[in-house]
C-alpha cells in the first residue's frame, strides 16, 4: 500500500462560520471550498495547508457520528486522512494485515473522493481515513 501524503487533518467544531472566521483572522487561512456531505451528516470546510488540508467539520445531523463525537468529547481532533493511489488495493492490503476496518468498501466523501475509515483501535486510538482523490 502506498501512502502519498497526509490528505487532511479533521477537526470537529460547534460553529463552522465562527471557526472559519477564527482561522482566517488568526492564521490568514481561508477555505478552498465548503460543502454539505449529507450522507455523513456534516458540513465541511477544507483549508489548504501546504500539500494537505485542515478539514473543519460541523455536524448537521443530530443523530450522526460527528454530533455524537462533539457531544461526548467536545471540539477537537477527529481523524487523520491519508491519500492513497488505489483505495481498493489499500483496503485489501489492510484486510490481509488483519486491520480493523470500519468501511469494508469505499464510499463517496467530500469533494467526490472515494474514502474509507480504519477503526481507531487499529492504530494507537487514532481514527484513520483513506482518501483516493477523484
Question: From the candidates 40, 44, 58, 78, which is the catalytic residue?
Answer: 44
Question: From the candidates 40, 79, 83, 113, which is the catalytic residue?
Answer: 79
> How far is 14 from 35, CA to CA, in rounded Å?
16
> How far is 126 from 14, CA to CA, in rounded Å?
21
Helix (H) or strand (E) holding 43: strand 42-49
C-alpha cell at 81: 486522512
Question: From the candidates 40, 78, 113, 129, which is the catalytic residue?
Answer: 129
Query: Is 55 considered catalytic here?
Result: yes
* Polymer length in residues for the chain: 134
> How far is 48 from 89, CA to CA, in rounded Å?
27
Query: Is 40 considered catalytic here?
Result: no
Query: Is 129 considered catalytic here?
Result: yes
Give me the helices (H) in 64-133, please.
65-73, 87-96
Query: Is 97 considered catalytic here?
Result: no
Question: From the candidates 7, 8, 78, 113, which is the catalytic residue?
Answer: 8
Question: From the candidates 40, 55, 58, 83, which is the catalytic residue?
Answer: 55
β-strands 3-12, 33-37: how paired?
unpaired
Query: Is 93 considered catalytic here?
Result: no
Which residue numbers are catalytic?
A: 8, 44, 55, 79, 129
Amino acid at each position: 500500500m502506498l501512502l502519498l501524503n497526509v490528505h487532511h487533518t479533521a477537526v470537529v467544531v460547534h460553529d463552522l462560520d465562527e471557526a472559519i472566521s477564527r482561522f482566517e483572522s488568526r492564521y490568514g487561512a481561508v477555505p478552498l471550498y465548503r460543502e454539505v456531505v449529507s450522507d455523513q451528516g456534516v458540513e465541511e470546510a477544507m483549508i489548504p495547508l501546504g500539500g494537505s488540508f485542515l478539514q473543519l467539520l460541523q455536524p448537521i445531523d443530530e443523530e450522526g457520528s460527528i454530533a455524537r463525537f462533539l457531544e461526548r468529547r467536545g471540539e477537537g481532533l477527529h481523524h487523520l486522512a491519508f491519500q492513497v493511489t488505489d483505495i481498493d488495493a489499500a483496503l485489501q492490503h489492510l484486510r490481509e494485515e488483519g486491520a480493523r476496518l470500519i468501511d469494508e468498501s469505499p464510499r463517496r466523501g467530500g469533494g467526490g473522493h472515494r474514502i474509507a475509515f480504519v477503526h481507531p483501535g487499529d492504530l494507537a486510538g487514532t481514527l484513520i481515513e483513506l482518501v483516493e482523490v477523484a
